[in-house]
Structures are given as structure tokens and as C-alpha cells.
Structure 1
């Protein structure tokens, strides 16, 4: 199996080093990651300038690794172009969760989505960050167990995986869709210039069976996703009850 590993935290992140090491037990691994952090970049792609593809400045033992001056989606597009026999794209392990509505702006998940757009299986993996760096050695057996199942799924599948700090098990989940309170917090920098922080807080508790609920209960959340965003229920109702001629 030929595996492309990427992320949105950048080539220097300890999370991508951990994921590349784990992935190497499943097949031949190539790392292609942003040269700087691209967190919350979403599914942005670069079209107004050329991309550079250079050897990684840090070593990944026994793994070919490269950095790109672009977004996570760029890395997947370029990486799968140069390595056209890629079977699966793994994105992460992200330093910070990608739960619920954060899927919309996650650069980690965007890399996996880009793979799925190409008909390649895409798997995004994330974990919370507390006061200390995540214990990737502790997470490793749960990442392996999760990948053992997901790599068997049909080609082109898309999954979002979130690992709590100290997992006790693994669950299939659905996305927690809850409205968020977007709060702008003003402040000033050392030069007395105004700046603003954008923060979000869920307006409702998590529901059992969702990704948020799983991670809150120390369970690895595995959410299967699809690229089609169509609201089938609303579409069927609209076709039945509404006409553009009315």
C-alpha cells in the first residue's frame, strides 16, 4: 500500500512524525506537508502563484519527506500528482480537535477531502492539546487499531478521526451539528494597537453518539463523511411542495 501523509500544522509538527511512523507499518510512506503552519485554512487552494516542492529540512527515518509552500489541499494535489500511485492519504495527527462544526474550516480534514475528490481514500486524525504536548506514544495503539479497520474500507472513502488525550475505546460516530456562539474579544498588542480574537463556544451540550460526545467520554471518534452536501430531505420536500412557477 502506498500512503501519502500530510497535515495542516506543518512539516515540523510532532504529530506528523508520529503518524508517518505508524503509517509505515501499513505500507510505503511519503510525507508531503506545508512548510509553515496552515491551521484553519480550510479547503483553500493556491492558483495565483507556483508551488515549490523541496526536501524536508527535518529527517523522517526511512521515509521520503517534502515541504510545499502551500495549503494542505495543495500538498495532496501536488503529492498525488508526483506520486500517482497513492492508495490513501492520511492527514494529521492534528494538534487540536476537529469536532462538529470545526470540520468546515479544518485544514486537516480538507487534505483528506482533497484525496476523496481524487477518488483516493482520505483519513483525517486529530487530538486535543492541553498544557503539554499530546502523548503520541500513548495514542499510537489506538491510531493503529483505527487504521487497521479504515484501510479496509472502499477506495475513495472519507473519515474524520478524533482521539482523546487518554483513549479507552473506539466508536463509530456522527458529526455533532450544533450552532456556535461566535464571540469577538478585543485587545491591544505591545505597541498599543487594537487587535481582535475570534472565539466560538457550542450553544448546546453534545448528543450521545456524536463525535463531541465520544471524545468527551474518552473514546476515539470515527466519523464517516461524504462529499455530497445536498440536503436530500429538504430537496425532496421542495420538489414536492414548491414550484418556481408559483
Structure 2
């Protein structure tokens, strides 16, 4: 099995090495990731300048760094390595829950795989202070990969891992509230600038990705590329708008 691994934290992130080490138990691994951090880039692709594809050293793995986005990395990686079976994206250092899926570069790597007809799985975990310790997550990362890369696993999945998992559950995306926040500030010269950040959301709904993480459960959310609101479409098809 050919397993292509990318992320949005950058090719030298500890999360990508952890994911590669676990994934190597399931097949041949190649890392293709951004040369610098590309967090919250969403599904951007680079169309106005050329991209580079340079070999680098990540542990004992065949690895390449790209001066582009996670979606770029998946496209270039699958171009240079034919017949990729699965793309794993992550492990992102920061959760990708609820509405943050819309601008997640980590999830975009998995989505780009799905667009190319390849199974895509994104992995994220909450931020930690100091050096990251994945030891308690590792058995659950292994279990998730083992199931999701099989034929019975969904084609596109968003996985979030708490610090100390107690189990794994299927979840739906929490869309009750958006957590984006614009925070005004100023530089030492008194010039105004703005940070885009997030605020914690309280009381997550049961059965959602946020609820799972709040209760120390690994959240696995099956996704689809089709954004069509089928319910609305059925209603609108009965309306005559153009006569």
C-alpha cells in the first residue's frame, strides 16, 4: 500500500513524523508537505506561480517539501508517486472541529485526495504547551488508520484526537456556532492591526465532534465533497422562477 502524508503545519512538524511512523506499519510511506506553515489556508491551490518539489530529510522517510499549500502537496505528491492508495493529513497541532473544517488546511489535504479519487483522512489534536507527547494517542491513531484505510472505511474522514483518549466514536460536524473572532491590536508604533483567532465554544451538542473531544473520545466524522443542500433543492425545484 502507498501512503502519502501531508499537513499544513509544515514538513518539519512533530505531528507529521508521528503520523508517518504509525502509518509505516501499514505500507510504504512518502511525506510531501509545505516548506513553511500553511495553517488555515483552506483548499487554496497555487495557480499564479511555479512550485518546487525538493527532497528533504524527515526521520527515515522519503520526504519532499513544497513551496505551496497542502492541496498543492497532495497534487504534486500523487503526480510524482503513481497509484497512491491513501492520503493521510496531519497530525495537525490544533483541533479541526465544527466550522473550522471550512478553512482547515489539514482537512484540505484529505479533500484534495478525495477530489483525485484517493481516500483521504485528516488527523488533528488540541494544542499543547511544551513538546508534544503523542504516546497516549498512538494506539488510537493506529486503530483509526487500521479501520479507515480498509475497504469498509469511508472515502473522506476528519479525525480529532484528545490528549488522553478513552475510546473512538463516529460523530457529526458541530455547526451550531462559529468560533472565529477578530481581535484588534496595535504594534509598538501605535499602528492598528488585527488578529484572527478563535473563542472556546461551550455546551457542545451530543453526538458532535466537539462533544467527543470534550469527553476525551476520538472523533471520526465521515464527510462528502458534494455541498448541495438536497432538502432546499427539492423545495426550490417546485418553484417557477423564470416565467
TM over 0.5: yes
Q: Which residue of 2 is the match for residue 40 of structure 1? A: 40
* Aligned residues between the structures: 243
- 5+ residue gaps, structure 2: none
Counterpart of 2:105 (choices 90, 104, 107) is: 107
Q: Which residue of 1 is the match for residue 208 of structure 2? A: 210
Structure 1 moving runs of 4+ over 4 Å: none
What does 1:81-230 align with in structure 2 at a 5 Å threshold?
81-153=79-151, 157-180=155-178, 182-201=180-199, 205-230=203-228
Counterpart of 2:72 (choices 71, 74, 91) is: 74
Q: After TM superposition, give the deviation of residue 192 of structure 1 in Å.
A: 3.0
Q: Say which is worse superposed, 124-133 or 90-99, in terms of deviation.
A: 124-133
Distance of 1:49 and 1:212 partners within structure 2: 38
Q: 1:108 to 1:30 in 2, by over 3 A?
A: same
Q: After TM superposition, give the deviation of residue 130 of structure 1 in Å.
A: 2.8
2:12, 2:58 within 8 Å by CA — same for their partners in 1?
Answer: no
- 5+ residue gaps, structure 1: none
Q: Which residue of 2 is the match for residue 60 of structure 1? A: 59
Where 2:22 maps in the other structure, the secondary structure is helix
Where 2:136 maps in the other structure, the secondary structure is helix
Distance of 1:193 and 1:24 partners within structure 2: 49
Q: After TM superposition, give the deviation of residue 105 of structure 1 in Å.
A: 0.0
Q: 1:231 to 1:87 in 2, by over 3 A?
A: same
Distance of 1:81 and 1:183 partners within structure 2: 38
Distance of 1:117 and 1:155 partners within structure 2: 17
Distance of 1:109 and 1:181 partners within structure 2: 17
RMSD of aligned residue pairs (Cα, Å): 1.6
Query: What TM-score do the two structures reach when normalised by structure 1?
Result: 0.94
Query: What TM-score do the two structures reach when normalised by structure 2?
Result: 0.95
2:17, 2:58 within 8 Å by CA — same for their partners in 1?
Answer: no
